[in-house]
Chains A and B, each alone.
Chain A
Amino acid sequence: MLLKLGGMTTLEALAVSSGPAFTSRGPLSTRLLHAFEYELATEETAGLSETVEETVATCDDVLQDDDVQFSLFLLYGLSYGDVIPGGDAWEWHSGMIAARRVLENAFEGGLRNTVSLPQSRSAHADDVAATLFALTKPDSGPSLSRHFATKVTQLQATEFVVQRSIYTLKEADPHSWAIPRLTGRAKAALVEIQADEYGGGRPERMHSAIFAGTMRGLGLNTRYGAYVDHVPAITLASLNTMSLFGLQRRLRGALVGHLAAFEMTSSIPNRKYGDGFRRLGYGADVTRYFDEHVEADAVHEQIAARDLAGALAAEEPALLDDILFGASACLLVDGLMGQHMLDAWAAGRSSLRIPLPVPRAAERPAEEDVLAKGQSQNV
């Protein structure tokens, strides 16, 4: 039954009050968005499994396919807060779970076929830490952070924050799913990192909240999902990788490896991002997030490499391969996301599917200059 509230569908009504109505990217996401408009009803998912199979069978590159990655984002979104308005009833719907399983199997297969794993076979904690440090060693190739330090424009810097917002407004959430699946030293280490991510008891210091401050400083909409329609498949793939690893106990090793690689490639780039925003004339309200991560992640990378990933490998040596797979998948997908931005900017294009409005005065950052779509719904 389609609920109508004053002429609007439930989803439209909820979109106005609590979230955006997303735009579909192909036959599969069209079906999902259509089903989510309804109260739980099996007839709304008739034909879903055929569409999923067909979507997976005809997709060339699962990591970059808009319909696959957006559909996965929606299905995983059912397990987070704030993504699918009214999604509670759909979370454990068997048709939705079945669709998710087909998509995520294809996604996991795509990741496993694409990453190259380091050769280390030692599950000793110190060796695992050394392998991860070698894997994540800063290199001298072109990178997003180097672009930031030298020549990023105001519009590009704003696009970067929009791209990052898909994960960072939920920063740390997917990795928290590993907590009840770990024990001992690895569990204590993960909780130690997450407690810091979540502000050590002070909500205003939660990293997601500090990031929202950066968005506000740039005049962006901080409501979760406001920019989902803007970002390319690879940006959704970045969050989907964490959700894939986070929602399956089987993949706890990969989730831990992912977090380790994420933390180990954070401090040095974040200093460059902060410098880039300072060079553009922005103040501490915008740069605080990046500055905070220079110090925080220099701590987290030590804990993540040794006490988390190292200890987990020592305790469950069978997980070593997945720890290294998770770390490599993080580097692969986030590397592709960065490369997408660099390629688009080098070609003089926006890195977004729907570009942001061009600021009126590009050299003079001010809140009113960069207005986001949906600003009237800003919180």
Chain B
Amino acid sequence: MSKAAEPGSASGSADWPIPGASVGHSLDPIIIACQNGPLLVRGSVELRTAEGEVIPQLRATIALCRCGVSSIKPFCDGTHKLINFQT
């Protein structure tokens, strides 16, 4: 049987690197700043309002608006494309 990284182990070995390990393979959240678009958040984060109320999150990967015009803030609704938002 071939040698494989253990599930959940922190890193692959030098001779058997985990594919994609450079972008993270733990369950820590990753935020990707999409060109001319939202912030894509992969992994579990707790979103709260300024008052401290938890904002329900219905999916594993979310997109946070950074253009300011979304009608469903803090989430992106794609409207950045209508205003030609440039990052």
| B78 with A298: CB separation less than 8 A | yes
Distance between B67 CB and nearest chain A CB, rounded to angstroms: 11
| B81 with A268: CB separation less than 8 A | yes
Asked whether B20 is an interface residue with its Cβ less than 8 Å from the other chain, the reply is yes
Which residues of A have CB within 8 Å of B81? 133, 137-138, 268
Asked whether B11 is an interface residue with its Cβ less than 8 Å from the other chain, the reply is no
Q: Is the interface of A mostly helix, strand, loop or mixed?
A: helix
Instruction: Give the residue of A130, A184, A271, A303 whose beta carbon is less than 8 angstroms from that of B77.
Output: A271
Asked whether B8 is an interface residue with its Cβ less than 8 Å from the other chain, the reply is no
User: Which of chain A's residues 260-312 have a Cβ closer than 8 Å to chain B?
Assistant: 266-268, 271, 294-299, 301-303, 306
Which residues of B have CB within 8 Å of A294? 71-72, 77-78
Distance between A127 CB and nearest chain B CB, rounded to angstroms: 11
Chain B residue total in the interface (Cβ 8 A):
25
| A299 with B77: CB separation less than 8 A | no
Asked whether B59 is an interface residue with its Cβ less than 8 Å from the other chain, the reply is yes
Q: Is the interface of B mostly helix, strand, loop or mixed?
A: loop
| B63 with A298: CB separation less than 8 A | yes
Distance between A308 CB and nearest chain B CB, rounded to angstroms: 13
| B35 with A297: CB separation less than 8 A | no
User: Which of chain A's residues 145-197 have a Cβ closer than 8 Å to chain B?
Assistant: 184-185, 188, 192, 195-196
A196-B59, A196-B60 as given contacts; A267 in contact with B20, CB under 8 Å: no
Bound form: Cα–Cα A63–B81 in Å: 31
Asked whether A369 is an interface residue with its Cβ less than 8 Å from the other chain, the reply is no
A126-B35, A184-B19, A268-B81 as given contacts; A192 in contact with B76, CB under 8 Å: no
List the interface of chain A (C-beta within 8 A of B).
126, 129-130, 133, 137-138, 184-185, 188, 192, 195-196, 200, 205, 266-268, 271, 294-299, 301-303, 306
